[in-house]
A and B are shown apart, each in its own frame.
Chain A
Amino acid sequence: MQIKVNDQPVTIKSALNLRELLKVLSQEEKGVALAINSQIVSRSQWSNHTLADGDQVTLIKATAGG
């Protein structure tokens, strides 16, 4: 199954939920926000939200800034 994460193509084996996706991508959960096809998915829903083929994932994290 093919999805895009921040415009980068990513192949995943099965329909993962968002918590599993972060694990596969070796990304921390802390300080991170996720949107699927420009719809923000709140942290409490990450385990329930399953990815579909062709999904566009936006993965945002806190960084240095003023």
Chain B
Amino acid sequence: MLKIADKLFNSRLFTGTGKFQNRQAMTEAIIASDSELVTMALKRVDLYSQDDDILEPLLQQPHINLLPNTSGARDAKEAVYAAQLAREALQTNWLKLEIHPDPKYLLPDPIETLKACEQLAQQGFIVLPYIHADPVLCKHLEEAGAAAVMPLGSPIGSNLGLKTREFLQIIIEQTQVPVVVDAGIGSPSDAALAMELGADAVLVNTAIAVSPNPVAMAIAFKEAVSAGRRAYEAGLGSRSLEAQASSPLTAFLDDM
């Protein structure tokens, strides 16, 4: 079982609520995924438009914990304010800290993220910072009180997979807090690979939400995460360029 802060998770697949076609598709996919930690964003209410209440169906699932994010915050000050609003809105101390000032690649700002993490951890938040796959930053965040780290595989929503693979391995080796690979996971095989590398969990949103069949894709991710984790626990064999015979190389063919 995975433990983050004081919470135990049966499932190592975390999901998000963005980009689904509608509330029903979102709810069905999240339930099918067995995910127990689900991200949400915050927005200013538009008084003149009514939209789907996506919170209600999630609150009806007792096994689902909400993880509000600070998406939209451009610096530490905005992120701390967003975090405090999120805590009020969703009545949870859990927070996915994300600060990405550049709208094109949405890459996280490491300096502002570290500053905000320090402040928020002191204010009692359970902070899960979204960061680049930077092992040194992970150590700093750990010291600043992060409950887990969320390094990216590739840019948010890009579906490019684990472009940061070698750095994720270093993070997994060195970081004392749980490592959740977030962003860029485009297919179940990406998720399985992250788990085989020893990630504690993965967060998948876009790849499930934009699939023509989100429920089937959610199940595929669930199975991939569980297979990858099992493989990691079993222990993978070592690699070599040269062949290593798996059958005895007997000489009987020469006798014919």
Q: Indicate if the CB atoms of A65 and B44 lie closer than 8 Å.
A: no
Bound-state Cα–Cα, A59 to B89, Å: 10
Q: Beta-carbon contacts of B12-44 to A below 8 Å, as 1s and 0s?
A: 000011111000001000000000000111111
Bound-state Cα–Cα, A32 to B45, Å: 9
Bound-state Cα–Cα, A43 to B209, Å: 32
Bound-state Cα–Cα, A8 to B49, Å: 13
Q: Indicate if the CB atoms of B54 and A64 lie closer than 8 Å.
A: yes
Q: Indicate if the CB atoms of B19 and A66 lie closer than 8 Å.
A: yes
Interface residues of A in 38-66 (CB under 8 A from B): 38, 40, 42-43, 58-66
Q: Chain A residues with Cβ under 8 A from B87's Cβ?
A: 33
Contact of B17 among A42, A43, A59, A64 (CB under 8 A): A64
User: Chain B at the A interface: mostly helix, strand, loop or mixed?
Assistant: mixed
Q: Indicate if the CB atoms of B44 and A40 lie closer than 8 Å.
A: no
Bound-state Cα–Cα, A27 to B45, Å: 9
A interface residues, how many (CB within 8 angstroms): 26
Q: Chain B residues with Cβ under 8 A from A66's Cβ?
A: 16-19, 39, 41, 69, 71, 156-157, 203, 205-206, 209
Q: Chain B residues with Cβ under 8 A from A34's Cβ?
A: 88
Nearest CB of B to A41, in Å: 8
Q: Indicate if the CB atoms of A65 and B45 lie closer than 8 Å.
A: no
Say whether, besides A31-B90, A33-B88, A62 and B45 are in contact (CB < 8 Å). no
Q: Indicate if the CB atoms of B85 and A65 lie closer than 8 Å.
A: no
Bound-state Cα–Cα, A28 to B42, Å: 15
Say whether, besides A32-B89, A33-B89, A63 and B26 are in contact (CB < 8 Å). no
